[in-house]
């Protein structure tokens, strides 16, 4: 945002942007001055609403928002932006997963000289009103969302200002037509399970992610299809619902290993939970891979440093984030996207945590 751009909200000089303008009607989107006239308020007030300022009465804000929604808004001409901003928003910044995403976004941000504003929703699935207000105020080049996604209202607020956004690996419903980047989760679950089947395992357990996470569901469906096409029935006792945390992997693995007919192999839907499985195995006096084979998912850097190193499905998180950032920049430049949904390939990385079962069936 240049000084000029920030300050000239009172003049009518503007130019339509390629994205987000003109929703719902075929007519030309309105300038700030035209919106002010429609609403019967001052240009300064419209400017405040557009920029997400809080010092506007609720009724006035709603009126201006409604006009913007109906007619669209012509963003003012952009001056040179030596320090424009890319917003990167996490539901939670928790482990190396976030590091990979941050590094991918930074790659693209540096190339385009964009500052990365990092925020997190502290575990919430959608941002609060305050978050949106702040984002509108910063007028970012775009937003990269590493969470379930904005509400319809919030999406509309960004769209009407021409602020593009892309979801990375959305955990929830992909209901929205919003652009997104994911990984081929289903294929990953299929390869992981086929690898175990090929080693001779039949009692193959799965520890899933949370049930609302579609990425995890896709991995489990890949597992089911691999089992089914190999003619091996899935024992419901061997399917355990986790939540992506190591503690949960530990608890679910303890249950599995205490079954009368325990599994000889476990496909774990993320690496963190696999760490928990390692502990449960050690506590039960079982060696990996001699007594229990384990396959993870993610291939975070730590997977190379477990003892033994973890066989896992690599999810290219850095590339996914870089792709999302590139999509945002493309949209901000008013260019069309080649694809609205991009899926990057997963890849099975075989290390030392998988081996044939001690007694092949």
Beta strands in 65-213 (DSSP E): 85-90, 115-120, 142-146, 165-168, 180-183, 204-207
x/- binding map, residues 153-192, to a second copy, per CB under 8 A? ----------------------------------------
Nearest to 169 by CA among 349, 347, 350, 346: 346
Return the bridge partners of 294, or none: 266
By CB under 8 A, is residue 305 in contact with a second copy?
yes
Among positions 207-246, residues that touch a second copy (CB under 8 A) are 246
The one among 15, 25, 42, 54 contacting a second copy by CB under 8 A: 54
By CB under 8 A, is residue 77 in contact with a second copy?
no
Least separation in angstroms between residue 245's CB and a second copy is: 10
By CB under 8 A, is residue 287 in contact with a second copy?
no
SS3 content of the chain, % helix, strand, coil (to 5): 40, 15, 45
For a second copy, the closer CB: 99 or 230: 99
By CB under 8 A, is residue 96 in contact with a second copy?
yes
Q: What is the CA radius of gyration of the chain?
A: 25
Compute φ and ψ for 324, nearest 5 degrees. Answer: -60, -45
Least separation in angstroms between residue 259's CB and a second copy is: 22
**CA–CA distance, 283 with 215 (Å, rounded to integer):** 30
Answer yes or no: are the C-beta atoms of 307 and 88 closer than 8 Å.
no
Helix (H, G, I), strand (E, B) or coil at 275: helix
CB-based contacts of 9, cutoff 8 Å, min separation 6: 32, 43, 44, 46, 47, 50, 51, 76
The stretch near a second copy (CB under 8 A) out of 32-40, 60-68, 86-94, 341-349 is 86-94
**CA–CA distance, 221 with 217 (Å, rounded to integer):** 6
The stretch near a second copy (CB under 8 A) out of 85-93, 155-163, 192-200, 207-215 is 85-93
For a second copy, the closer CB: 96 or 232: 96
Among positions 243-262, residues that touch a second copy (CB under 8 A) are 246
**CA–CA distance, 157 with 136 (Å, rounded to integer):** 8
The stretch near a second copy (CB under 8 A) out of 155-163, 182-190, 233-241, 277-285 is 277-285
Least separation in angstroms between residue 137's CB and a second copy is: 4
x/- binding map, residues 105-134, to a second copy, per CB under 8 A? -x------x-xxxxxx---------x--xx
By CB under 8 A, is residue 138 in contact with a second copy?
yes
Answer yes or no: are the C-beta atoms of 313 and 184 closer than 8 Å.
no
Answer yes or no: are the C-beta atoms of 220 and 185 closer than 8 Å.
no
The site for a second copy (CB under 8 A) is made up of 1, 3-4, 6-7, 9, 47, 51-54, 82-83, 85, 88, 93-96, 98-99, 102-103, 106, 113, 115-120, 130, 133-134, 137-138, 246, 275-276, 278-279, 282, 301-302, 304-309
């Amino acid at each position: 945002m240049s000084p000029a751009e920030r300050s000239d909200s009172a003049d009518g000089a503007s130019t339509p942007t390629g994205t987000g303008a003109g929703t719902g009607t075929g007519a030309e989107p309105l300038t700030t001055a035209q919106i002010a006239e429609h609403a019967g308020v001052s240009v300064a007030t419209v400017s405040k609403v557009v920029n997400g300022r809080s010092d506007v009465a609720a009724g006035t804000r709603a009126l201006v928002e409604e006009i913007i929604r109906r007619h669209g808004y012509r963003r003012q001409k952009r001056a040179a932006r030596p320090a424009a901003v890319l917003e990167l928003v996490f539901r939670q910044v928790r482990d190396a997963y976030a590091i990979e995403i941050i590094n991918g976004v930074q790659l693209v941000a540096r190339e385009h000289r964009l500052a990365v504003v990092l925020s997190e929703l502290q575990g919430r699935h959608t941002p609060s009103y305050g978050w949106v207000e702040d984002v509108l105020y910063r007028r970012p080049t775009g937003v990269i969302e590493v969470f379930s996604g904005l509400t319809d209202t919030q999406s509309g607020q960004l769209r009407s200002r021409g602020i593009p956004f892309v979801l990375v690996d959305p955990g929830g419903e992909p209901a929205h037509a919003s652009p997104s980047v994911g990984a081929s989760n289903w294929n990953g679950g299929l390869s992981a399970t086929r690898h175990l089947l090929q080693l001779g395992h039949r009692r193959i357990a799965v520890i899933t992610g949370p049930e609302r996470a579609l990425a995890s569901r896709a991995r489990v469906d890949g597992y089911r299809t691999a089992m089914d096409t190999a003619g091996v029935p899935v024992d419901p006792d061997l399917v355990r619902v986790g939540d992506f945390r190591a503690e949960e992997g530990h608890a679910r693995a303890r249950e599995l290993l205490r079954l009368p007919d325990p599994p000889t192999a476990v496909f774990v839907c993320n690496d963190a939970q696999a760490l928990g499985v390692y502990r449960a195995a050690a506590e039960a006096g079982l060696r990996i891979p001699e007594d229990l084979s384990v396959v993870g998912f993610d291939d975070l850097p730590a997977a190379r440093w477990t003892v033994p190193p973890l066989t896992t499905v690599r999810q290219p998180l850095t590339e996914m984030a870089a792709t999302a950032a590139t999509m945002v920049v493309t949209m901000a430049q008013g260019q069309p996207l080649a694809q609205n949904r991009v899926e990057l390939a997963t890849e099975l990385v075989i290390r030392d945590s998988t081996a044939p079962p001690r007694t092949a069936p």
